[in-house]
Amino acid sequence: MAITATDIAKRVGVSQGTVSSVLNGNGAKARIAQATQEKILAVAKELRYRPSFAGRALVRGRTRSIGFLCGDIRNPHFNELADLAMEEVERRGFHLVLAVTKWHTAKNDLETFDNLLARGVDGIISFGSAVRKGTPQYAQVRAEQFPFVCIGHAVAGLPCIISDNHPGTDEAVRLCQANGHRRLAYVGLPEPAKERPLADAAARHGVSLDTYHVPMRPGQWAQVSACAREAAHRFAKLPERPTAVFTSSDHLAVDFASGLWEMGVRIPDEVSLIGHDGTAAGGAMSPPLTSIDFDGAQVLQLALDMVFAQIEGRPAAVEPVAVPSRLLVRKSVSLVS
C-alpha cells in the first residue's frame, strides 16, 4: 500500500498540511521549524514515501508534454525515432521532453525516469528496461495507472511494444541464400531477440551461422564505434571468413564496415553486410546498407496512440503488442564471387 502524506503526519504528530508544505519544498515559506522539517523528511525517507503522479497532475494540471526516454542519442536509431516522435507529439498539440540515459546501471535509468516525472510530463514512452517488477516506479505506474509505454522490452503488467524480428530476419537469410551465401555470421552485442530468429532462419534455409559477440559491457555505449572497428579487424584476419555478416544494429554496422575498409575488405564484393533497425543513416552508407527494418514510424504511432489513450482515461492493454519486422533491401548484399 502506498505511503501518503497523512501517514507521515500521524507518525510525526503534525498536520497533513504541514507535511505537504515540507514535501513540496515550502517549509521555510510556511515558517515551519527547521527541526520539524528535518523530522518530516527523515520519516518520509524511512517510509519510502513517493509523491503521487496522479496527485501532482491534479494540483498542477496537465503540462501537455510527453516524456521520451532513450539510450545513446548518437545512435541514429534513437535520434531518428526522437525526431519522428517530436513531429507527431507536436501535431497533437503537445511537446516532447527528451531524456537520455547512458544505460550504465538500472539505477541510472530509474533516476532518469524520475527526472522526467519531476518535469510533470503527462505520459512517458521508454526504450529502457529498468522500470520493471520489483521497482518502486513499476509499482507506482501500476497503482496510479500513469500513462506509460515501453518499447523494445516486454514488461509484465505494463503496456509495451516489441519487434517481431522473425519476418525481416527470414527475408534477409533467404536473400543471402539466394545469392549463394552458405556461411553467415552474427556480429554484435548479445541480443537473444535478434540472435534466435537468425539462428532459426539459418537452420530453416540450410546455411551455417557463426556468432562473434562484440566485447562491450553495459555502460560502455560510448565505445561502441571503437569496439565495432576492432571486431571488424579480427573478422578480416579470419583464414576462412563467413561471406555475409548480420550486425545487431545499423549503428554498429557503420563502424564495422569502416573497420573492414581499414583492413582492405570491401562491401559487398568480399563480404555482404546486413544491419538492423532500418535507419536513414544506414541508407547513407556506401554502399547503402540492407537492413532488418524496425518500422519505427509504425511503432511510434502505435506507442503514442497508447499513451494518449491512457491520458484520456482509457485503460491500456498490458499484453505485449508485437510489430513484425521487414527487410529493407539496399545494395550491401551481392552474389558470392
Handedness of CA 318, 324, 325, 328 (dihedral sign): negative
Q: What is the pLDDT of residues 41-62, one digit of tens each?
A: 888 888 877 666 555 554 555 7
- The SS3 call for residue 276 is strand
Higher pLDDT, 89 or 136: 89
Q: Which three cell numbers stand for residue 226?
A: 571503437
Q: Which pLDDT does position 55 carry in this prediction? A: 55
Identify the H or E element spanning 293. strand 290-293
Q: Which of 82, 60, 63 is nearest to 71 (CA)?
A: 82
Q: Which pLDDT does position 257 carry in this prediction? A: 96
Q: Which pLDDT does position 59 carry in this prediction? A: 52
pLDDT at residue 322 greater than cutoff 90? yes
Alpha helices by DSSP H, the chain: 5-12, 16-23, 34-46, 53-60, 76-91, 106-118, 136-144, 166-178, 192-204, 224-236, 250-262, 280-283, 296-311
192 pLDDT band (50/70/90 cuts)? very high
CA 283 to chain centre: 22
Give me the torsion for CA of 275, 277, 281, 284, rounded to 10°: 50
* Among the ranges given (48-57, 148-157, 254-263, 312-321), the one the predictor scored with the smallest mean pLDDT: 48-57
* Among the ranges given (42-51, 89-98, 167-176, 233-242), the one the predictor scored with the smallest mean pLDDT: 42-51
| pLDDT > 90 in the chain, percent | 54
* Among the ranges given (82-96, 100-114, 307-321), the one the predictor scored with the smallest mean pLDDT: 100-114
Mean pLDDT of 224-247: 92
The pTM (predicted TM-score) of the whole model is 0.80
Q: What is the pLDDT of residues 236-262, one digit of tens each?
A: 999 999 999 999 999 999 999 999 999
125 near 85, Cβ under 8 Å? yes
